[in-house]
């Protein structure tokens, strides 16, 4: 009897263990590879983001210090722990995700503290510089990226969209760029079986994502103030449950507008919120390919997006979408009202049309096919 070849060992390295886009992307990869590779998932302590690792058949290893945190002791522990692991692993591929592991891993490669005999892939879940970023941080990130791409051995660089890759190429220059292999693997969403729609009274918009500079929740609150009193806004994500965040968001709002804000905190399952919403809002300053927006496609919801890089592509593909300015809230509010009237008038046909776009582009089936093709390339097939 012939002896079968062992499955390749793929190590996916993430950071923060809370629910967010990066853990979901990694879980989608682990699920896509469950029959074709032995998968190990590495992250900081799990706080809900990696609850489903066991369902994919992957091993989950915790390394403290991989979460982005301004603490030298924390980051030093993460650096040492990650370096210990990657130096001894029998992996056929180490694939870095999340901000700190991507930085730590490439720094170790650049300094020749890590000399792997296997390929190393890096996924950029968003560019760390450019439109929407704070200017000083953007400049530092740009300089750092140039240094790392110059100093590291050849890497496999994975981007969520082709325009992201093109922007990076332009910023890095062809000499640095040509040293590395480039791939594109879009995100996916996988809500699973959707419950029946349960519309709440009035008109409810939902926005997902952790509290912070990127998601620009303050702009969403200002937009709510420009919408009619029948509108409510539900904010879902880590940090939205904090009293300090809620007070900051509500500080400049009239009381009657503040009362139309709802905060859920982090959610491991966002289906119920999506299925009682009338539309999805995203006011981010910058994004990669936001899974929250893809989940809105999957749920059959209309979307209203801020003008971050890549938003125009999502809006152009979505049959019920609008691009906001966030500079004229009255005009943006009017756009949303017009969009929702058209969506409601078309009824079930609207939801079917939206979900068809999702199925063709960002479904689990589409993701599995793309990710397996890329794995073959990463492993030299």
Instruction: Summarize the confidence of residues 202-211 as an average pLDDT.
Output: 95
In a domain, 36, yes or no: yes
pLDDT value for 4: 66
Residue 351 domain-assigned? yes
The contacts of residue 314 (CB under 8 Å, 6+ apart) are 293, 303, 305, 321
Say yes or no: 130 and 62 in one domain: yes
Domain of 350 in residue numbering reads as 203-361
Q: Answer yes or no: is 291 within a domain.
A: yes
Higher local confidence (pLDDT), 3 or 15: 15
Task: Give 1's pLDDT tier (boundaries 50, 70, 90).
Answer: very low
> Does 336 fall in a domain?
yes
Q: Evaluate whether residue 2 is within a structural domain.
A: no
- For residue 197, the model assigns a pLDDT of 84
pLDDT digits (tens, 9 = 90+) for 231-266: 999 999 989 999 999 999 998 899 999 999 999 998
Q: 215: domain CATH number?
A: 3.40.50.2000
Residue 2 has pLDDT above 90, yes or no: no
pTM to 2 decimal places? 0.93
Model pLDDT, residue 199:
77
**Strands (DSSP E) found in 237-313:** 261-265, 279-282, 303-305
DSSP state of 39: E
Structural domain includes residue 268: yes
Q: Are 161 and 34 found together in one domain?
A: yes
Q: How many residues does the chain have?
A: 381
pLDDT at 19: 86
Q: What pLDDT digit, counting tens, does each position of 55-107 carry? A: 999 999 999 999 998 889 999 999 999 999 999 999 999 999 999 999 999 99
Q: Are residues 150 and 215 in the same domain?
A: no
In angstroms and rounded to an integer, the radius of gyration of the C-alpha atoms of the chain is 21
Percent with pLDDT over 70 in the chain = 99
Q: What b-and-e string marks burial along 223-261, b requiring 16 or more CB atoms within 10 Å of the CB?
A: bbbbbeeebbbbbbbbbbeeeebbeebbeebeeebbebb
311 CB-contact burial (10 Å; exposed 0-12 / middle 13-18 / buried 19+): buried
| Whether residue 85 is found in the same domain as residue 232 | no
Same domain for 312 and 331?
A: yes
Q: What is the DSSP letter of 278?
A: S
Q: d(Cα 106, Cα 148) in Å, to the nearest integer?
A: 7
pLDDT of 187 > 50? The answer is yes
Query: Residues 18, 165: one domain?
Result: yes
Mean model confidence pLDDT for the chain: 95
Query: How does DSSP classify residue 276?
Result: T
pLDDT, tens digit, 9 for 90 and up, residues 356-367: 999 999 999 999
Instruction: Say how many domains are in the chain.
Output: 2
Cα 158 to Cα 155: distance, rounded to the nearest angstrom: 9
For residues 150 and 221, state if they share a domain: no
Same domain, 48 and 111: yes
Contact 92, 8 (CB under 8 A): yes
Give per-residue pLDDT as tens, 120-166. Answer: 999 999 999 999 999 999 999 999 999 999 999 999 999 999 999 99
Same structural domain, 120 and 218: no
Question: Do 29 and 69 have their domain in common?
Answer: yes
Residue 217 sits in the same domain as residue 179: no
Residue 187, helix vs strand vs coil: coil
pLDDT > 90: percent of the chain: 91
Alpha-carbon gap, residue 308 to 258, rounded angstroms: 26
- Helix, strand or coil for residue 203? strand
pLDDT for the residue 357: 98
What distance in Å separates the CA atoms of residue 375 and residue 358, rounded to the nearest whole number?
A: 23
- Highest mean pLDDT, choosing among 17-26, 64-73, 105-114: 105-114
Is residue 228 in some structural domain?
yes
End-to-end CA distance of the chain: 26
What pLDDT is stored for residue 66 in this prediction?
A: 96
3 occurs within a structural domain: no
- Do 369 and 293 lie in one domain? The reply is no
Q: How confident is the model at residue 291 (pLDDT cuts 50, 70, 90)?
A: very high
């Amino acid at each position: 009897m012939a002896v079968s070849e062992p499955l390749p060992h793929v190590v996916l390295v993430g950071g923060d263990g809370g629910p967010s886009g990066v853990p979901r992307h990694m879980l989608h990869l682990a699920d896509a590879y469950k029959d074709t590779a032995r998968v190990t998932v590495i992250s900081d302590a799990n706080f809900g983001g990696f609850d489903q690792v066991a369902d994919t058949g992957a091993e989950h290893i915790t390394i403290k210090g991989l979460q982005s945190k301004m603490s030298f002791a924390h980051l030093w522990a993460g650096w040492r722990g990650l370096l210990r692991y990657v130096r001894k692993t029998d992996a056929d591929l180490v694939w870095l995700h999340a901000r700190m592991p991507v930085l730590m891993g490439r720094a170790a490669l650049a300094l020749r503290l890590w000399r792997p005999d296997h390929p190393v892939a890096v996924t950029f879940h968003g560019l760390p510089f450019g439109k929407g970023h704070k200017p000083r941080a953007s400049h530092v990130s740009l300089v750092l990226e140039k240094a790392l791409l110059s100093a590291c051995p050849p890497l496999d660089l994975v981007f969520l969209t082709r325009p992201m890759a093109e922007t990076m190429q332009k910023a890095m220059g062809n000499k640095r760029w040509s040293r590395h292999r480039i791939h594109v693997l879009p995100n996916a969403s996988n809500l699973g079986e959707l419950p029946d729609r349960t519309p709440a009274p009035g008109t409810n918009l939902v926005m997902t994502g952790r509290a912070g500079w990127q998601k620009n929740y303050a702009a969403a609150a200002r937009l709510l103030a420009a919408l009619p009193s029948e509108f409510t806004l539900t904010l879902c994500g880590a940090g939205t449950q904090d009293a300090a965040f809620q007070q900051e968001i509500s500080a400049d709002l009239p009381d009657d507008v503040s009362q139309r804000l709802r905060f859920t905190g982090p959610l491991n399952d966002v289906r119920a919120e999506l299925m009682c919403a009338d539309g999805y809002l995203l006011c981010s300053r910058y994004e990669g390919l936001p899974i929250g927006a893809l989940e809105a496609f999957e749920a059959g919801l209309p979307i209203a997006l801020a003008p971050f890089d890549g938003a125009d592509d999502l809006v152009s593909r979505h049959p019920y979408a609008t691009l906001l300015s966030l500079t004229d809230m009255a005009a943006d509010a009017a756009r949303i009202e017009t969009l929702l009237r058209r969506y409601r008038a078309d009824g079930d046909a609207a939801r079917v049309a939206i979900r068809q776009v999702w199925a063709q582009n960002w479904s689990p089936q589409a993701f599995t096919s793309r990710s397996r093709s890329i794995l073959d390339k990463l492993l030299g097939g």
